[in-house]
Structure 1
Amino acid sequence: MKRLTIMILIFVLALSSFALQGCGESDQAKLEKERTLLEIEKLKREAEEQVDRKKVHDEFLKTDKIKDYKANVPF
């Protein structure tokens, strides 16, 4: 009887260890997914900022060219 109890306890410990290891991998996978999503959002934000800077720069060039054109046109 004692031997059977010890075997059952070892079996339960092995199963719980296996279950905990599986949960750990699942948590790590969740963390990796969250990290990846954060990196994607960061890249999107950087791309949007770059587009905004490009628009501002293009507008500046347009207004600068217009000023030069108006300055060179004789009336």
Structure 2
Amino acid sequence: MGSKILPIAKQIVMPNPKRRHSQQRSAKRRTHYKAEEVTLSKDTTTGEIHVRHRAHVSEGKLFYKGKLVSEKAPLKA
């Protein structure tokens, strides 16, 4: 008459691929993962070459966009 409640005895198993992807298929997917060349700039204040859009340390001071951000450079972990 009514619905039966079954006890959950089986462990839940996540779905897995039925077949292995071929090397060619994996390579086709990975063709778009390319490393780009890092753009470097010369700081107008210190004249030091640094990675663009990143703060950099020069003579123990932290600079960003040619401006002094901090007198003490952060400690590297």
Shared topology, TM-score over 0.5?
no
TM-score bracket, normalised by the shorter chain, equals under 0.3
Which has the higher relative contact order, 1 or 2, with Cα contacts under 8 A spaced 6 or more apart? 2
More helix, by proportion: 1
More strand, by proportion: 2
User: What is the TM-score normalised by the length of structure 1?
Assistant: 0.26
User: What is the TM-score normalised by the length of structure 2?
Assistant: 0.26
Q: Which has the larger radius of gyration?
A: 1
